[in-house]
Structure 1
Amino acid sequence: MNGFHKTDEKSRTQSPFVHEVAALCVLAGKILLQNGAETFRVEDTMNRIARNFSIENAQSFVTPTGIIFSIENTDITKLVRISSRGTDFRKVTQVNSLSRQVAEGALGINEAYRQLKMIDSSTKTYAPWLQVLAAASASSCFLLMFLGKWQDLFPAFIAGGAGQAAAMYFHRLTKVKFFSEFISSIFVGLIALYSVKIGWGIDLNKIIIGAVMPLVPGVPITNAVRDLMAGDLVSGLSKFAESVLTAFAIGIGITFALALR
C-alpha cells in the first residue's frame, strides 16, 4: 500500500496539470519583471498563483535578468532569461488583477494562461507624439518646480521634448544599453545651450535640469530601494547599479554638449 501511495503521488505531482501551472506562473512573473514590477512582487505573485492551484511547495528566485521557478518533489524547473526591461504599469496592474481573479476562483488555468498571453503580446501604448508632448510638458513643470524663470519655460519645453524623441528613436535603433540616454542628453544640452546663446533662455542650468528629468531612471531607483528593504540584495544592488550607470550616461551626455560651448 505504501509503495502504491508513493507511486500515485509521484504521478500526480508530475501530471500535465502541474506543468501547466508552472508555465502560468513563469509567464506571469516574466510579464511583471519586464514591465517594472519589484522583485518581491514578482516572486509573491508566482507563489500565490501556484498555491491557488493547490501547489504548496513552489519556489521562485528572481533577478533583474532571469527567473528560476521550481516545484519541489517534481522534475519541474523552469528558467526564463529577461533580456529587455521597461516600465508599463498597465501590464503590471493587469497581471495583479488576473492573480486576484485566480485567487477568487473566477479563472481556470486555461483561461488565465490565455489572458496572460494576450497581456504579454499587447503593444498598446500612447502615441509617440503624445509621449513627446508629455515629456516636454513635464520638463516645463520641473523647471518651475526648481524655481526657474518663466522666460526659460519654452526652451525647457523644446529641450525636454527633443530629448524624449531622441531617446525613443535611439532605443529602437540600438540594443546597446545607456546609448539612447547618452545621445538624448546631448540633444538636451545642445538645445539648452543654444537657446541661451540666442537669447531665448536665461538660466542654462535650470533649463537643463528641467529637461533631463523625464530621462532620469526614477522607477528603477525606487524599485532598487524597495528590493533592498525587502531583503532582495542581488536584485536591489543590480538595479541600483543600472540606475547609477543610466544617470552617469545622462551626465556624460550633458557634459559633452556643454564642452562645445
Structure 2
Amino acid sequence: MDKMVEQTYEIMEVCLLAGKIMLQSGGETYRVEDTMMRIAASFGIEKSHSYVTPTGIIFSAEGSEPTKTKLIRISERSTDLKKVAMVNSISRSISSGELDLNAALNELKNLEDLNVTFPMKYQAAAASIASGCFMIMFNGGWNDFIPAMISGGAGYISFIAFHRFVPIKFFSEFLASFVIGLISLLFVRIGLGHKLDTIIIGSVMTLVPGLLVTNAIRDLMAGHLVSGLSKGAEAFLTAFAIGAGIAFVLSFLK
C-alpha cells in the first residue's frame, strides 16, 4: 500500500512539473490542464482533477486511498513556446508508452533546467528588424526604417536590462517605452526621422502583449474565467505601462 501511495505521488510530481513548465512558458490554461490529466491517465490514474490559474496549480488524484492533492506556486512567467512544444512531445511519448515514470520525470527535470532561448544579440536583432517591418505595415515610409529599427532594438534591450535589475514587469515596460519615445523623438529632432507616430508605433510593437491577449481570449472561450480575466488584466496593465511611457515623453519633452 505504501508503495502505491508513493507511486501516486511520483505521478503527481510528473504531472505538476509538466504543468509548471507549460504555464511558466506561456501555455494556455486549458492546454495545461488537459496535458496533466492525460499524463495521469497514461500512468493509471483515471480520475484526476486540476485547477490552473496564472499564479498556481492545484492537482488531485483519486484512488482507493483518500484523495491526494498537491499545490505549486507559479511566480515567474515568460514566453517560450518551444518549451511548451517539448512538453507536449514528452506527453505524447508517455501516452504511447515510450517513457516510463522515472524516464518522464528525468526528461521534464532536464527540460526545466534547459535554456532554449536565443542569445541576447539575436533577440535584439529580431526586435530591431520587426520594429522596422511593423513601421512599414502601419504606412510608414522607408526613410524611417532605420530609426524604427534602432529605437525598437534599444527599447527591447532596455526592457531586458531593466527587468534584470528591477523584477517588476510593468515598471520595466514603462522605462522601455520611455526609451523608445525618447530615441524616436531624438531622431525626428535631428532630421533623421520624419513621422514620429509611425516610428513609435512600430518600435513598441515588440513590447505589446500579443500572446497574453490571445491566451486570455482562448481561456475565456474555453470557460476558464479566472485565468482569462487575470491574463486580460495583466495585458491591460502592460498596455497601460507602454502607453504611459510614450505619453510621458510626448507630454514633457516634445
Normalised-by-shorter TM-score class: over 0.9
2:71 to 79, 95, 100: 79
Deviation at 1:72, TM superposition (A): 2.2
1:91 to 66, 80, 83: 83
1:237 to 225, 229, 241: 229
Q: Could you tell me whether the CA contact under 8 Å between 2:33 and 2:51 is conserved in 1?
A: yes
1:248 to 236, 240, 244: 240
> Which amino acid counterpart does residue 100 of structure 1 have in structure 2?
R
Task: Please list every run of 5 or more consecutive structure 1 residues that lacks an aligned counterpart in the other structure.
Answer: 1-10
Tell me the residue number matched to 2:128. Answer: 136
2:165 to 173, 178, 182: 173
Q: Could you tell me whether the CA contact under 8 Å between 2:82 and 2:116 is conserved in 1?
A: no
1:109 to 93, 101, 117: 101
Tell me the residue number matched to 1:122. Answer: 114
Tell me the residue number matched to 1:69. Answer: 59
Cα RMSD of the aligned pairs, angstroms, is 1.1
Tell me the residue number matched to 1:25. Answer: 15
1:217-253 deviation line (CA, Å, top 9, x unaligned):
0001100000000000000000000000000000000
**Paired residues for 1:42-61 under 5 Å:** 42-61=32-51
Give the Cα–Cα distance (whole angstroms) in 2 for the partners of residues 130 and 103 of structure 1: 36
Task: Please list every run of 5 or more consecutive structure 2 residues that lacks an aligned counterpart in the other structure.
Answer: none
Q: Percent identity?
A: 54
Deviation at 1:14, TM superposition (A): 4.9
1:127-168 deviation line (CA, Å, top 9, x unaligned):
111111100000000011111011111110100000000011
TM-score normalised over the length of structure 1: 0.94
2:148 to 141, 144, 156: 156
Give the Cα–Cα distance (whole angstroms) in 2 for the partners of residues 124 and 13 of structure 1: 36
Deviation at 1:15, TM superposition (A): 2.1
Q: Could you tell me whether the CA contact under 8 Å between 1:136 and 1:161 is conserved in 2?
A: yes
Which contiguous aligned blocks of 4+ residues in structure 1 show a shift greater than 4 angstroms?
none
Q: Secondary structure at the match of 2:115?
A: coil
> Which amino acid counterpart does residue 53 of structure 2 have in structure 1?
T
Number of residue pairs matched by the alignment: 251
Give the Cα–Cα distance (whole angstroms) in 2 for the partners of residues 138 and 13 of structure 1: 54
Give the Cα–Cα distance (whole angstroms) in 1 for the partners of residues 103 and 3 of structure 2: 22
> Which amino acid counterpart does residue 42 of structure 1 have in structure 2?
V
Q: Could you tell me whether the CA contact under 8 Å between 2:131 and 2:148 is conserved in 1?
A: yes
Q: Could you tell me whether the CA contact under 8 Å between 2:45 and 2:62 is conserved in 1?
A: no
Q: Could you tell me whether the CA contact under 8 Å between 1:39 and 1:232 is conserved in 2?
A: yes
Q: Could you tell me whether the CA contact under 8 Å between 1:179 and 1:249 is conserved in 2?
A: yes
Q: Secondary structure at the match of 1:253?
A: helix
Tell me the residue number matched to 1:224. Answer: 216
Once the two structures are overlaid, the 10-residue window that deviates more, 68-77 or 125-134, is 68-77
Q: Secondary structure at the match of 1:215?
A: coil
Q: Secondary structure at the match of 1:214?
A: coil
TM-score normalised over the length of structure 2: 0.97
Give the Cα–Cα distance (whole angstroms) in 2 for the partners of residues 171 and 58 of structure 1: 38
